[in-house]
Structure 1
Amino acid sequence: MTGNGHFPLSKIKILDLTRARAGPTAVRQLVDWGADAIKVEMPGGRAGDGMGGNRHGFDFQNLHRNKRGMSLNLKHPKGVEIFKQLAQDADVIVENYRADVKHRLGIDYETIRQSNPRIVYGSISGFGQEGPYRDRPGVDQIAQGLGGLMSITGLPGQGPVRVGIPVTDLCAGIFLAQGILIALLEREWTGEGKWVSTSLLEAMISMLDFQGSRWTMAGEVAPQAGNNHPTGIPTGMFKTQNGHINIAASGADLYARMCKAMGREDLLTNERYATSGARYQNRDELNAVIESITKDKPSEDWIKLLNDAGVPCGPVNSIDQTFADEQVQFLEMAQSVTSPALGELNILGHPVSWNSQRNPLRKSAPELGEDNHVILTGLGYSADEIAGLEQDGVI
């Protein structure tokens, strides 16, 4: 938020056709910076937009804060007509239907740009807008498996393991939001919008990062490494007197600092651990030695001792412990917002700050069709016409 109280994207108007998680994540990035988004939903549609069947649950409220709400039947010709009216004045449309649905509804990019060439149209699909899998339904866990993530997650020999958050949904949403912002920036020079798209699969492949380039550059298929860092040694989780800690001491300098802080300088000269190559070859053995040391003191002692020595070390928290942590509380990552239906509730704040200020949440997730009358009145519809649309199942 800028010093005069205005949000940087406050002039950007978005039509949000998204449901589930990846698409709403993209829109959330933009509305948190002030964009005016109208969340379009089917009249009488499923409660909660597929998020656990509960509009007032933690998932829906966290995904759809800061939006207005409109119910609109896009399977009805009048509903499509209203949508196209809204699109004439919109800056961005975001959807995450299966690849062919927007074309069948007649609200695809090429159609919309005929009347609004400045439109930036954002799409997320499971596997891409074209290709042999374009029409398959895509969800996070399917993309985690297809994209290779599950094969490198979990303990060695355990078998594939799903990551504990919907990482492909979240990353696809963040990547799409970035693409939309870049298209809006380019529009300032060209005067024309763009169709920006990504997929759960593309996001997942990108997030493989160095594990992916191990294959593309060196032909190495990364195995499961459990709590160990795949290549940085020693980096992993170790038992303490009262729990577990994470230590990251890869590289000669950090390894030396750790050994000195632990009072085990002999580990620096032991030929089995003295070089990075030796530590890689004897990782399990070295980890066992480190754990035999860390088990003698409580976690908080090691965290202070190692951090004071300049060695990254931290606790292994449950989520309630995370939100109780003094640094997390200082960062104010949990923020309150008032819902007409639920009263005051705490949801997650946006992770980026400007000039040490975190953008405040403006409103809770909308009720179904909450802003129908205001939006349609703005388009020139009379009260009688709005009542007729409601009676005909258009809104």
Structure 2
Amino acid sequence: MVDGPLSGLLVIDLTRVLAGPYCTMVLADLGARVIKVETPGTGDDSRHIGPFIEDKSAYFMSLNRGKESIALDLKADGDRAIFDDLLARADILVENYRPGVMEKLGYGWEALHARFPRLIYAAASGFGHTGPYKTRPAYDMVVQGMGGIMSITGHPGGPPTRVGSSVGDITAGLFATIGINAALYHRTATGEGMKIDVAMLDCQIAILENAIARYAATGTAPGPLGARHPSITPFAAYQARDGYIIIAAGNNGLFEKLCGVLGRPDLMADADFASNDRRTQNVDRLAHEMELTLRHETVAHWMAALEAAGVPCGPINDVAQALHDPHVRARNMVVTIDDPVTGPLEIAGNPIKLSAFADPNTRGAVPDLDGGRDAILAWLGR
């Protein structure tokens, strides 16, 4: 286990695939002990999702490092007794079943709170535990479509485009983690646990930010804009001689510096570009004028010149380039699992850097299904 501010806390992890495991992974990275309770025989569904290394799922490994696994059938009396022993010692229970499943098993919030009043119960589901859609199943793609984010992703006139990362699941995992930490603070003050109900669809609405403001202000639903910002200009990907460069000149001062780098004082003097609002109204013309100059030199040339002038800019990296970026490496955002079967596997590090705790460049082993049973039972005195 990693040493962190949550060290000493026990998390019972009844989750699978992505939203729930992402939440418990963050809790583990912050020091909590996470015991993953899995279905006997099959385990977490993501154990069977590729890509595979030596028959082990790299997908599962990336989300479940540093956890322990015990396989329990929560419909069998003997396994329920073990689960009850775990709950008696637990601080936090995280689950991502459809609403009603835990109640059918006898482990719904009301029943658990009566027995374990200090237990914090976090539920991540597609649509939450209230509302007309609460019993519907959901995957990331479903809530991306329903939550509006796909409608503002991609290029105008293009087909529906999924965000390249599973933001439906990941945001639910992150909001659940935030809720858990708030509940821990509340418990410190009151001694009482609470239920945290996080819906993937709710989280998609929560991250629409500027799109909601634009709709509220104009009454028109925004659409996709490709790689540019909807209300700040120039703030987009622009064509240089050998590829694209991101330029984000978010105010008049930065735009003036950009014009200086480009050697284009005429742009600064043009009334169409005199303010951010005017630049946004004339976004296509400004992009055309900028690219007339940008296409004469390479991305590397413009990166050096813009950085020297203090204009925010960046390349468009693929995943390999991003993972090998020296700053990413310096921030310890690529760490290693040393698995006895697959060998070393690089995964994403913890972006939460805490002054009081080390940020190790390795993470705990990935548990085999039921691999922690003997140690867990011994710890329970069974």
Counterpart Cα distance in 2 of 1:316 and 1:6: 35
Name the stretch that deviates more: 347-356 or 310-319: 347-356
Counterpart Cα distance in 1 of 2:44 and 2:129: 28
Deviation sequence 1:285-336 (CA, Å, 0-9, x none)? 1101111111110101101101111111110111111122221222221111
Note if 1:24 corresponds to 2:21: yes
Contact 2:46 2:57 in 1 (8 A): no
Note if 1:215 corresponds to 2:215: yes
Residue aligned with 2:56, SS: coil
Residue aligned with 2:271, SS: coil
Contact 2:46 2:59 in 1 (8 A): no
Question: Which residue number corresponds to residue 9 of structure 2?
Answer: 12
Structure 1 residue 48, shift from structure 2 partner? 5.3
Question: Which residue number corresponds to residue 37 of structure 1?
Answer: 34
Unpaired runs of 5+ in structure 2? none
- Give 1:142's aligned amino acid: V
Structure 1 residue 360, shift from structure 2 partner? 4.6
Counterpart Cα distance in 2 of 1:156 and 1:346: 37
Counterpart Cα distance in 1 of 2:48 and 2:287: 41
Contact 1:92 1:119 in 2 (8 A): yes
Residue aligned with 2:272, SS: coil
Residue aligned with 2:221, SS: coil
Note if 1:268 corresponds to 2:265: no
Question: Which residue number corresponds to residue 278 of structure 1?
Answer: 278
Question: Which residue number corresponds to residue 307 of structure 1?
Answer: 307
Question: Which residue number corresponds to residue 248 of structure 2?
Answer: 248
Structure 1 residue 253, shift from structure 2 partner? 1.1
CA separation of 1:278 and 1:6: change in aligned 2, threshold 3 A? closer
Deviation sequence 1:221-264 (CA, Å, 0-9, x none)? 21211111111011111111111110011321111110011100
Contact 2:332 2:361 in 1 (8 A): no
When normalised by structure 1's length, the TM-score is: 0.91
Percent pairwise identity: 37
Residue aligned with 1:358, SS: coil
Structure 1 residue 6, shift from structure 2 partner? 4.0
Question: Which residue number corresponds to residue 160 of structure 2?
Answer: 160
Unpaired runs of 5+ in structure 1? 382-395
Structure 1 residue 47, shift from structure 2 partner? 6.6
Question: Which residue number corresponds to residue 339 of structure 1?
Answer: 339
RMSD value over aligned CA atoms?
A: 1.8
Counterpart Cα distance in 2 of 1:37 and 1:276: 49
Count the aligned residue pairs.
Answer: 378
Name the stretch that deviates more: 285-294 or 214-223: 214-223
CA separation of 1:136 and 1:309: change in aligned 2, threshold 3 A? same
Contact 1:23 1:95 in 2 (8 A): yes
Counterparts of 1:367-378 in structure 2, within 5 Å, are 367-378=368-379
Name the stretch that deviates more: 138-147 or 356-365: 356-365
Name the stretch that deviates more: 354-363 or 32-41: 354-363
When normalised by structure 2's length, the TM-score is: 0.94
